[in-house]
Amino acid sequence: MSDGEIREIRINPVVPGESVLVATARSMRPKKAEEHAPRDSRKHVETCPFCSGNEDRTPPAIAVYPDSGAWNIRIVENLYPVLGDEKSHSNISFGLQQIIDGYGRHEVIIDHNEHGRAIHEMSASHLAMLFTAFRDRVSALFESDRRLKYVLIFKNFGPAAGASIAHTHSQVIAMPVVPENVQSEVENSWHFFRTHHQCIFCTLIDEALTFEATIYDRESGQVRRKISVGQYVVEKGKRFIAVKPFASRYEWEVHILPLAHHADFLSVEREDIEDLARVMKRTMARLEAVLGGAQYNFFLHSVPHDNHLEQHQASYHWHLEICPRTSIPTGFELGSGLFVNTLSPEAAAERLRCAEIPED
């Protein structure tokens, strides 16, 4: 390993059971690059079921935005739901086989009436409308069925990220269980809160904005590690911040969090949504400027509406995780659960921060 190269296992501070091998030396790169999604910037595609004019090819709209005139955002049931709600069966267990009935809801949010409009190309006011639609659906789904414990909002962009229809869209899945990833965050942040009496996510934001340190080697006295203020900050608005996690699983992973403590995405107000839209647009523009058309997923993590909703209000902090898919997971990663990141998160944060993006 030469100077400046990293080979270290970093522990995710929120979920210590999850760790990442950051290995930047070229000879150690065990991963194959993922291709970019072919860019389809067409406004309208005659055969696309999500394009305007083809509304009869999808189930009827659950909601449209704005609520009168031509739609900009349209929400429909997913034709091929992962979880359906036709009939609820009781749970069954037999020996080691435990089964929870897969009831729930699966909806598609058609993000924009233009077929190939990318998130960073949408106006901030359109993105604000999109986040409002997200909030409205989460709220309506929780109210529709008390048995639902979690509503996951996510987006797949590009075939490797799981998108089967090219037209820009996000998805909502309402589930009868709390997903494992969220549960781990919730439990670990609760554990941190009980010990330190503060939210771990608020602490992370504080550290990103205020920490400075130099760590020296005990024997040689040489600098081993330098942490500077703002090193992990990619974008900062009045109410939201985009940060590069210190233990990023994906090379270009970025998280967006409210600066003020809020456990529940449903608590966002209009001013929050406006700032969130702006931070999201600018963050996606930075990723686009550096990566140019990478496939990605994003997903929203918020406090589950289960029996412990009140308990976790002070310890959990909702956030959006953006995960560009620039490399293909290997057997080592799948088999070990240890993610391999071949790019230093500090270098990635700097490149994103310095990227030139159009002013808004």
The residues of the shown chain that bind Zn ion, judged by CB under 5 A, are: 45, 48, 50-51, 115, 167, 199, 201-202, 261, 301, 317
Cβ proximity to Zn ion: between 135 and 262 the closer is 262
Minimum distance, C-beta of residue 51 to Zn ion, in the bound complex (Å): 3
What is the smallest separation between the CB atom of 250 and Zn ion, expressed in angstroms? Answer: 13
5 vs 267 by CB, closer to Zn ion: 267
The gap between the terminal CA atoms of the chain, to the nearest Å, is 42
CB of 332 to Zn ion, least distance (A): 23
DSSP reduced 3-state for 151 = strand
Q: What amino acid occupies position 123?
A: S
Give the integer Cα–Cα distance in Å for 288 and 40: 15
Give least dist CB 258 to Zn ion, A.
8
Residue with Cβ nearer Zn ion (51 or 109): 51
**Rounded distance, CA 247 to CA 20, Å?**
6
The three-state secondary structure class of 322 is strand
C-beta of 267: minimal distance to Zn ion in Å? 12
- CB-nearer residue toward Zn ion: 201 or 252: 201
CA distance 283 to 299: 15
Other Cβ atoms closer than 10 A to 214: 10
307 burial class (0-12, 13-18, 19+ CB within 10 angstroms)? Answer: exposed
Query: In this complex, which beta carbon is closest to Zn ion, that of residue 45 or of residue 309?
Result: 45
